[in-house]
Amino acid sequence: MGFLQILTYLSGLVFVIGFAAKLLKYATMPMHVRWELYPIPHEGKEWGGSFYEEIDHWKKTRHIDHMAQYRFMVPEILFIRALHEDNRSLWYWSFPFHMGLYLCIGGLVFLGLGALVQIFGMAPENSALASLLQSLTTVFAVPGYILGTIGVVGLTVKRMTDSGLADVSAGIDFMNLIWLGLLFVTGFIVWLQDPGFLVSRAFFQSLITFGPMTEPMGAIHVVNLLLFIGFWAYFPFTHMTHMVSKYFMWDKVKWDDDPNKGDAGMDSKIKKYLAYPVTWAAAHVGAEGGKKNWADVATSNPWENKDQK
Amino acid sequence: MRPEEISKKTEQLVTINTEDLPPLPYPYENYEETPITPLKEEQKKKWEHSLDGVSALTLPKPETPEEEERLVKAFLSGLGKLMTKENNWTFLQPLMLSMEYCAKCQTCADACPAFEMSGRKDIYRPTFRADVVRKIAKKYLSKGGNILAHFRGHDIDLNWDTVARLAELSYRCTLCRRCASVCPVGVDNGLMNHELRKIFSQEMGIAGPEIHEKGSVKHLKFGSSTGMTTAAVADIIEYLEDDIEEKTGKKIKIPLNKKGAEILLIHNAGEFMAWPENPMAFAILFDAAGIDYTLSTELAGYDAVNYGLWYDDVQFARVALKHLEIARDLGVKKIVIGECGHAHKALSVIADRLLPGAQMIPRESSYTLLNEIVKSGKIKFDPSKNDFPVTLHDPCNVVRLMGIVKPQREVLNAIFPPGRFREMEPHGVENYCCGGGSGFAIMSSGNFPDWKRLVSGRKKLSQILNAFQGEMDPSIRKMVCAPCSNCKGQIRDMLESYEVFEKTGIWYTGMVELMVNAMVDQKKPFLEWPGDEDDDD
Ligand code: SF4
Ligand code: SF4
């Protein structure tokens, strides 16, 4: 096994651990108070209404419209609908950038599948399936490289020239864009040199089999690979993992309209939280440096009966 | 302006010039605006004002460098506590998501009325204050925060200027959350502002005086933020009964502290003082519909406001728990919240997870109940009595933050002749705040009222004027229905400062007043327009 393979495994490991840690961090935070924002697609009311519009709503069965939620989510994820509607000039660049990324990830999946079938003796030249996987790799990856590059260039220029964006951008934002841009460009060059992704598939195969590399890898390919595995390991530690925030912020905050009807799970959480010690220091809180808990401070009224008129 | 510039040593970071503000619609396109009144020299010496020359907080300047340092440390300590589950379980998850994930795309900026109407001053961008908080947290509270801080984009200086400006800046956002509704990654800059206010209040004892000392403290001390005591409320209600008799000829007894009533109705107590016709109209409607309800004269039981919603979780919880306790003691089946937007959001939604489920009392919006009354046919309405153009203001707390959109429209369509009701654009969940959200409607310290007039209320004034274009002749009386006490206060102040009724014939009221005005058995008009009393003389 070569150095590049070891680096790839390591970066994969960092990615998995980093990403899992991030998911775990948010998933284990306490249930918060409700802070939803309408419209909530699963309410199924296109005008943005909620069950609060119904008389005695707590006595009624709540209908959750899952289909409406998917109708909202799919265009949101695939086409970045929010940006299309509310920030079109940025969407022109952000959309190709994200679509480029999705396509490249799709290409990578087909490359991996191609490597897998190749292990079982099915190569593009002798198997229809392997040949299909090879074509799909190209069909996804190449437009991905092109769209991604267009997006990176557009976003970089926009970030530099739009004063609203330039004022909030830092070196790291440009570095992230350029890093991904180089990844797309070198990927494209690799494809020009090896239109059938022969070397890439062989590398993938060596990763799966822990075996040696059967095809020599060119210099630009090595650069592309290093850029990729570096980014893979770095990614979980950046705000670019915003699919995590999207899941939590949408599903667990903006759309979390679960009423408190005394179910055991919610009750036990609330009881636990009310016992948390409070250390807020302002005098009116009266937390006494953590001697009081939430139940104590919330049920106290420091002003009651004093100066009552 | 980069967020880092907030720590710059300068007398004033930004100045609002009236010529930079977006023009208002006809007949105000060439209106000569009165600029923000500069603070007097002695006020400038006393109060922090270096953000934009405006003081909403009348925040005293520290007297010694040691005091400055102590305050800066207190801020940092508060920021740290905000990020712990023990001190902030209530909002930790949404806060941390918003702390970490901003893509700096500025989509939120165009949605924010404060930013737009300030003439796009960078300090009012939804991201500006949020970015400052993020940068301070990253540099001063995270491990290795100093390493490559400039390259990583959080090289900010934390000094007293920064903290003082942040305090004022946290009172330049109405918490309308329009920004959050457009953010492509789900970041909530309204929430970031809410949390920032909490550091000031819960750790440093700094808050808008009208929402803390004169607000939630008075509420818990006397029973109402208006200062109305439990002893006074029953007297006031007696006066209301007399007024009802005078206006309707009906003798209606408003039930007080009635054990076992179906409903506890809680108004914003500001209505008793400023718009008594609102609780009167509720009494008339509930009586005519045969609703079994009661008002309470218990401490805080007659005032639905919960100013803690805007700045302090502890004060919030104290008031919300009082409301629930009163309802429990009376044995009512549900609480109905009067025309007060933030009370809707506070008690129905946010307070929902403060107690185990069995201890919760169902809460319902008066809009929903009023619509049900209309639909039931128990009261006969004659829409021709409301034969004037009307538009509807959507209180953010009820609409975008709670999803009650249709009932108020169904009511208006039932009590107005066809074609008389027109929508503002945009409306419903995409509405704009009245400009008085997050406590602004009642905040009047320093020269802050000028900022509200010029900046935060400007979008709503534009929308109101736009809704009635083509009918601006002042002899055509036109109405803005604003079913929220806070919004009414802000809209009243805007209409009065710009002499809108005199110039265009546009006035404002709540929804129940319009309903009673349209009741078939209501002989005299219930609505009062400015100048009506003079006509009587
Ligand atoms: S829209 Fe959201 S991601 Fe974009 S700058 Fe605003 S808060 Fe950040
Ligand atoms: S909550 Fe409203 S006022 Fe505050 S930043 Fe967002 S859009 Fe602007």
DSSP B249-287: S---PPPBS-TT-SEEEE--THHHHH-THHHHHHHHHHH
B295 closest CA partner among B322, B335, B333, B339: B335
Q: Quick one: which of B177, B141, B136 has its CA closest to B157?
A: B136
* pLDDT attached to residue A304: 83
Lowest-confidence region among A91-105, B290-304, B355-369, B519-533: B519-533
B352 vs A244: CA distance, rounded Å: 26
- The percentage of chain A sitting over the pLDDT mark of 90, rounded to a whole number, equals 91
Residues of B in contact with A78 (CB under 8 A): none
What is the residue-wise DSSP string for B90-150?
A: TTHHHHHHHHH------HHHHH-HHHHHTTS-GGGSHHHHHHHHHHHIIIIISTTTTTTHH
Residue B536's pLDDT is 45
Question: Which residue, B158, B161, B166, is CA-closest to B197?
Answer: B166
3-state secondary structure at position B507:
strand
Alpha carbons B227 and B273: distance in angstroms, whole number:
10
**CA distance linking residue A237 with residue A83, whole number of Å:** 24
Q: How far is B405 from chain A (nearest CA, A)?
A: 6
Nearest alpha carbon, ligand 1 atom 2: B183
Total residues belonging to chain A: 309
Q: What is the pLDDT of residues A194-245, one digit of tens each?
A: 999 999 999 999 999 999 888 899 999 999 999 999 999 999 999 999 888 8
> Tokens 């939620």 — which residue?
A69
Task: Report residue B534 as tokens.
Answer: 């003079």
Residues of chain A contacting B405 with CB distance shorter than 8 Å: 38, 45, 47-49, 53
Distance from the Cα of A100 to chain B's closest Cα (Å) equals 18
For chain B, give the mean pLDDT: 96
CA proximity to B467, closest of B429, B417, B420 = B420
Residue B201 has pLDDT above 80, yes or no: yes
Using the 8-state DSSP alphabet, how is residue B61 labeled? Answer: P
Place of tokens 């009494």: B283
Averaged pLDDT of chain A: 94
Tell me, using a 6 A CB cutoff, whether residue B179 lines ligand 2.
Answer: yes
If you average pLDDT over residues B294-316, what whole number do you get? 97
Report which ligand 1 atom has the smallest distance to the Cα of B126.
6
Q: Which of residues 30-49 of A touch B (CB under 8 A)?
A: 30-40, 43, 45, 47-49
- Cβ atoms of B351 and B320 within 8 Å: the answer is yes
Residues 2-31, chain A, touching B (beta carbon < 8 A) = 25-26, 29-31
* Contact A167/B at CB under 8 A: yes
Q: Calculate the CA A152 to chain-centre distance.
A: 18
Regarding the beta carbon of B189 and ligand 2, being less than 6 Å apart is answered: yes
Q: Which mutation among B100, B108, B188 tests ligand 1's pocket best, with the greatest number of atoms within 8 A of CB?
A: B108
Could you tell me the distance, in angstroms and rounded to a whole number, from the CA of residue B192 to the centre of ligand 2? 10
Place of tokens 């956002």: B173
Q: Which two tokens stand for residue B116?
A: 């737009």
Between residues A154 and B532, which one has the greater pLDDT?
A154
For residues B459-465, give the mean pLDDT: 98
Mean pLDDT of A121-140: 96
Q: Which two tokens stand for residue B367?
A: 């809009």
Tell me how far the alpha carbon of residue B34 is from its chain's centroid: 24
* A156-162 LR contacts (CB < 8 Å, sep 24+): A156/A181, A158/A89, A158/A90, A158/A93, A162/B106
Structure tokens at A242: 């915003």
Closest by alpha carbon to B138, among B3, B8, B10? B3
Q: What is the pLDDT of residue A213?
A: 86
3-state secondary structure B10-57: CCCCCCCCHHHCCCCCCCCCCCCCCCCCCCCHHHHHHECCCCCCCCCC
Look at residue A2 in the predicted model and tell me its pLDDT. 86
What CA–CA distance (Å, rounded) separates B177 from B187? 10
Q: Is the pLDDT of residue B358 over 60?
A: yes
Shortest Cα–Cα distance, A225 to chain B (Å) = 25
CA B267 to chain centre: 15
A260-297 pLDDT per residue, tens: 999 999 999 999 999 999 999 999 999 999 999 999 99
Query: Which numbered atom of ligand 2 lies nearest the CA of B433?
Result: 2
- Report how far ligand 1's centroid is from the alpha carbon of B134 (Å): 13
pLDDT digits (tens, 9 = 90+) for A246-255: 889 999 999 9
Q: What is the pLDDT of residues B236-286, one digit of tens each?
A: 999 999 999 999 999 999 999 999 999 999 999 999 999 999 999 999 999
> Which residues in chain A are closer than 8 Å to B351, comparing Cβ atoms?
33
Q: Which residues sit with their C-beta closer than 6 Å to ligand 1?
A: B 102-108, 127, 183, 185, 187, 189
Q: What one-character DSSP code corresponds to residue A127?
A: -
Q: Which region among A32-36, A61-65, A184-188 has the lowest average model confidence (pLDDT)?
A: A61-65
Question: Which of B284, B237, B266 is CA-nearest to residue B338?
Answer: B266
- Looking at residue A243, its pLDDT comes to 83
pLDDT of B534 above 90: no
A258 Cβ neighbours under 8 A, 6+ residues apart: A34, A266
Distance CA B55, CA B60 (A): 10
Q: What is the mean pLDDT of residues B124-135?
A: 97
Q: What percent of chain A has pLDDT over 70?
A: 98
Among left, alpha and beta (phi > 0; psi -120 to 50; other), residue A56 is left
Q: Whose CA is nearest to atom 7 of ligand 2?
A: B112
Regarding the beta carbon of B111 and ligand 2, being less than 6 Å apart is answered: yes
Residue B183 reports pLDDT greater than 60: yes
Identify which ligand lies nearest to the alpha carbon of B430: 2
pTM: 0.96
Q: Which two structure tokens, joined as six digits, stand for B251?
A: 């003798």
Residues forming a β-bridge with B421: B390
Instruction: Give bridge partners of residue B489 from the DSSP assignment.
Output: none
pLDDT digits (tens, 9 = 90+) for B62-115: 999 999 999 999 999 999 999 999 999 999 999 999 999 999 999 999 999 999
Residues of B in contact with A262 (CB under 8 A): 356-358, 360
**Closest residue to B358, CB basis, from A249, A262, A280:** A262
Establish if A158 touches chain B: CB-CB under 8 angstroms: no
Q: Token pair for residue A57?
A: 């709503």
What b/e readout covers A88-120, taking b as 16+ CB neighbours within 10 angstroms?
eebbbbbbbbbbbbebbebbbebbbbbbbbbee
Q: What is the pLDDT of residue A244?
A: 81
* C-beta of residue A164 within 8 angstroms of C-beta of residue B125: yes
In this model, does residue A1 exceed pLDDT 70?
no
pLDDT of residue A305: 72
Pocket-testing residue among B95, B104, B132, ligand 1, by greatest number of atoms within 8 A of Cβ: B104
Taking CA–CA distances from A73, the nearest residue in chain B reads: B184
pLDDT of residue A306 exceeding 80: no
Residue whose C-alpha is closest to residue B312's, from B367, B344, B274, B350: B350
ipTM of the complex: 0.95
Query: What is the mean pLDDT of the segment spanning A136-156?
Result: 98
Q: What is the pLDDT of residue A294?
A: 98
Q: How far is CA A197 from CA A117, A126, A141, B97, B187, in A?
A: 14, 16, 10, 39, 40
Mean pLDDT of B523-537: 78
Please tell me the distance between residue B223's alpha carbon and the centre of ligand 2 in angstroms: 31
Summarize the confidence of residues B489-500 as an average pLDDT. Answer: 97
- Is residue A294 within 8 A of residue A275, CB to CB? The reply is yes
- Kindly report the length of chain B: 537
* Predicted pLDDT at A245: 81
- Residue from A167, A248, A268, A273 whose CB has the most chain B CBs within 10 Å, to mutate: A167
Please tell me if the CB atom of residue B123 comes closer than 6 angstroms to any atom of ligand 2: no
pLDDT band at B533 (very low <50, low <70, confident <90, very high): low
**DSSP letters for A1-68:** --HHHHHHHHHHHHHHHHHHHHHHHHHTSPPPPP---S--GGG--TT---GGGSTTGGGSPPPP-HHH
pLDDT for residue B406:
98
Q: How far is residue A200's CA from residue A172's CA, in Å, rounded to a whole number?
A: 30
CB distance B285 to B252 below 8 Å: no
Compute the Cα dihedral for A170, A173, A176, A177 and give only its sign: negative
